[in-house]
Amino acid sequence: MQTIAQALDKLERSKFRSGFHLTKKEQAYLDEKGMDVIRRHAEDFVHQKLAPADPVNDGRQTPMHGHPVFKAMHATACCCRGCLNKWYKVPLHRELTGSEEQRIVNLLMAWIDRNYRPHDQIGE
């Protein structure tokens, strides 16, 4: 099994996946909420959107923006069960286990951590 660092390195070699970045608005949202709250949001989104055996509208259930976790889900190929299957060999048509959900949340938070800059350091 690959580590989070290996997964992030592999994602960075994908032109599509590495094209996602946090906007200033999403960074401001991180500033405002803090990482503990964002992790709880990530847990909720993963549980609602990815954990069911056959998620509603699979492949289109994750908006492209509007929340830093959505951005992270696309950037890490944790946006739908099809991508989880392709990238991480997670079987389709069965519920995710609690530990799979936790591993996904850990990867999402690691991506956010790697891509997050505190507000006053943004040079734009």
Stretch that binds Zn ion, among 25-33, 43-51, 63-71, 80-88 (CB under 5 A): 80-88
Which is closer to Zn ion, CB of 27 or CB of 70? 70
For 63, phi then psi, to 5°, come to: -60, 155
Stretch that binds Zn ion, among 19-27, 45-53, 76-84, 112-120 (CB under 5 A): 76-84
By CB under 5 A, is residue 83 in contact with Zn ion? Answer: yes
What's the rounded Cα separation, in Å, for the pair 104 and 42? 9
Sort residue 66 into left (φ over 0), alpha (ψ -120 to 50) or beta: left
- Smallest gap from residue 72 Cβ to Zn ion (A): 13
- Hey, is 94 helix, strand or coil? coil
By CB under 5 A, is residue 80 in contact with Zn ion? Answer: yes
- Smallest gap from residue 5 Cβ to Zn ion (A): 22
| Contact yes or no for 66/74 (Cβ under 8 A) | no
Stretch that binds Zn ion, among 31-39, 71-79, 86-94, 100-108 (CB under 5 A): 71-79
How far is CA 8 from each of CA 23, 55, 65, 108, rounded to the nearest angstrom? Answer: 19, 25, 20, 10
Which is closer to Zn ion, CB of 26 or CB of 58? 58
By CB under 5 A, the count of residues binding Zn ion is: 3
| Residue partners of 96: CB distance under 8 A and separation at least 6 | 46, 50, 51, 90, 104
By CB under 5 A, is residue 79 in contact with Zn ion? Answer: yes
Would you tell me which residues interact with Zn ion (CB under 5 A)?
Answer: 79-80, 83
